[in-house]
Structure 1
């Protein structure tokens, strides 16, 4: 990669990666409910999903999704329903303490958090279009390096930037979490977190291919 490519790509990638999309709102929710460390570990799910998406795009399937409104809508609404399910479950206090005290937060297993990040990323068609439409803009066609290799390098850099931005969202959530202590506050916070996830579902529902 050339220096000019990096100078153009990095700021753009940071802006895109920091935007309040479905996955970043999920990272914020994880940080606010589970704390910083679990929320950061959960980002492994997003990273794995993005690696799959890069492989899909390089394999040519990303172009199919970009061209097919039906495929886009199917994936999008599956993601909307999943986020809405998580939001309603959180608002209803679906995860309670062993003693049954409503409103207290019980740590969710790391695997469950990783799975949520993975599914949310895979069911977000905008994530696929990110590697189909955004990243390729920074490929230099007349470079001595093949387009595929450039896409791999740019995608790897973007994923790194994405994880850094997501860590910021998780940190913000954990800071908010530190301000709450009582069971009553946790009950209110469950609702706030649920609304955050529902907001992510609404944002994904409004996503368009262009």
Structure 2
């Protein structure tokens, strides 16, 4: 790995990681409903998904997803349905665990939050293509190290950058929560975040392979 590689990769990775998307929206929602610490801890689920994606790409399955329209569509629509399910849950103010006195649904455990982070990441084909199309662009053939080694290092750096960016989204959500809005406003927040999640499902439904 060279310094020039890293200086080129880091700002590009930061822009990609900080951009609004299904996972960052979920981190914001978790922060606004559960607080910063649970939302931040749940990001472990997303990081685990990304580690699996790097492993998938190394064994060549990422190329299959990039080449196969059917595989892309299967994963994409699984993600669309799951995001729509989460959005509908938020819109009606109910969840599968517990509901506070304000009427705003709460997930109930960090493990449930992490599981949702994991599922949203794994069912987003664009996240898989991130490691098959974006990261390999920064691999240097003359860097003196193997393709696999560079891929692992750049992938690990990207996951760290993604984690930091997602912490920012979770913090933004938790700041809203810390303002102690009234029950009526909390319900409105629930509806708005649910609508945003449905919007993310709609955007994913229009996604096409690069």
With normalisation by structure 2, the TM-score equals 0.95
User: 2: distance between equivalents of 1:135 and 1:105?
Assistant: 37
User: 1: distance between equivalents of 2:96 and 2:189?
Assistant: 13
- Unaligned runs of 5+ residues in structure 2 are none
Residue 85 of structure 1: aligned partner: 85
User: 2: distance between equivalents of 1:108 and 1:95?
Assistant: 9
- Unaligned runs of 5+ residues in structure 1 are none
Residue 64 of structure 2: aligned partner: 64
Cα distance, 1:97 vs. partner? 9.3
With normalisation by structure 1, the TM-score equals 0.95
When residues 98 and 82 of structure 1 are mapped into structure 2, their CA distance, relative to the original with a 3 A threshold, is: closer
Residue 176 of structure 1: aligned partner: 176
When residues 165 and 185 of structure 1 are mapped into structure 2, their CA distance, relative to the original with a 3 A threshold, is: same
Residue 137 of structure 2: aligned partner: 137
Q: CA RMSD in A?
A: 1.7
Count matched residues. Answer: 210
Residue 193 of structure 2: aligned partner: 193
Q: Secondary structure at the match of 2:106?
A: coil
Cα distance, 1:190 vs. partner? 1.1
User: 2: distance between equivalents of 1:140 and 1:20?
Assistant: 29
Moved more, 55-64 or 178-187: 178-187
When residues 105 and 99 of structure 1 are mapped into structure 2, their CA distance, relative to the original with a 3 A threshold, is: closer
